Amino acid sequence: MTAPADQRHEVPAPAAPPPDTRVAWGERPSIWVRIPTWISLSGFILVLFALWYLLSSLELVSPFILPDPMDVVAELGNMANAIGTGGLLAEALGITVLESILAFAAAVVLGLGFGFLVAESDFGRIVLMPLLVAVNAAPKIVFAPIFIAALGFGISSKVALGAFIAFFPLLVDTAAGLASVDRDKATLFRSLRISRRKTFFKLQLPSALPFIFAGLKTASVLAVIGVVVGEFIGGGGGLGQQTKIAGDLLATDRVYAYGIVLAVFGYLFYAVVAYAERKIVFWQTPHGVQAGG
């Protein structure tokens, strides 16, 4: 006989396997992500300093190439005192900072302007862009005497050279960002007959901002480099000229000290732009190299 339906025993379904709590390879954050940035950066600098001290102590490298790090630290202390008292070095640092800011501002105007022209016009894309690429491919130091001859030995020639070196990456990133608009969104805006002006500010510009800030961060560093190169060649009283004078005197420890000061200034300049990016492009998940912790 067949058992009643309410007395039948169904075969229980197999139990679900326990969830796999293992982290796949590549998903676990690296140790550099889990450690605060200032700790990892400080530790790495200390390791480099120890290696530098070892090479210098054993005289494995000529002191004219790699001076004693303690001599460099002493020079940094002397420079800090001189800057604090408002002497010649304070004036030199102020000149280089001012020139770098002006060069960066000029590079922003040129990079955004030419980037918009390249992205939005056939003339910019077909005629202007190849010419700009050809000019940018030439060694920048070739143009330094031209800027000095045209603008003199003052601040203007250094600002012009810094802007000339810094604007091209911003141009490329701006053009790429303006052309990176999602096609479906662009089609939607056109179907709704939204004006070109509103489309630019509501769609194109927000899509391009991550690209633009990538170019701005690169330009901030290149502006400092361009200004220092201009000071090396054309004088002018900035830190670049002071570094050249120290090199001519074979004061290598002082050259390294100036280089460290310029590197710190360049990083701080970059960090300011990166901070502005985090505040303005707040919807973007941060990736890649970032300033600060």
Using a pLDDT cut of 90, give the percent of the chain over it: 36
Q: Locate tokens 């600002």: which residue?
A: 159
Residue 6 lies in a domain: no
Residue 110 lies in a domain: yes
pLDDT digits (tens, 9 = 90+) for 74-115: 998 988 888 888 778 888 889 999 999 999 999 999 999 999
Residue 36 lies in a domain: no
Q: Identify residue 224 by its one-letter amino acid code.
A: V
80: tokens are 């800090």
Of 217, 204, 208, residue with least CA distance to 289: 217
Provide the domain count of the chain: 1
Q: Which domain holds residue 100?
A: 70-280
Distance CA 227, CA 154 (A): 12
- Band of pLDDT at residue 26, cut at 50, 70 and 90: low
CATH number at residue 164: 1.10.3720.10
The confidence score (pLDDT) of residue 8 equals 53
Distance CA 219, CA 268 (A): 13
Residue 82 lies in a domain: yes
Distance CA 51, CA 72 (A): 15
280: tokens are 């303005």
- Band of pLDDT at residue 225, cut at 50, 70 and 90: very high
Residue 25 lies in a domain: no
Residue 182 lies in a domain: yes
From 38-42, 65-69, 179-183, the region with the lowest mean pLDDT = 179-183
CB-based contact 166:219 (threshold 8 Å): yes
Residue 158 lies in a domain: yes
Examine the pLDDT at 196 and tell me if it is beyond 80. no
The chain-wide mean pLDDT, for the chain, equals 83
- Band of pLDDT at residue 293, cut at 50, 70 and 90: very low
Residue 239 lies in a domain: yes
Residue 71: how many CA atoms within 13 Å on its side-chain side? 14
From 19-33, 61-75, 198-212, the region with the lowest mean pLDDT = 19-33
Distance CA 265, CA 78 (A): 18
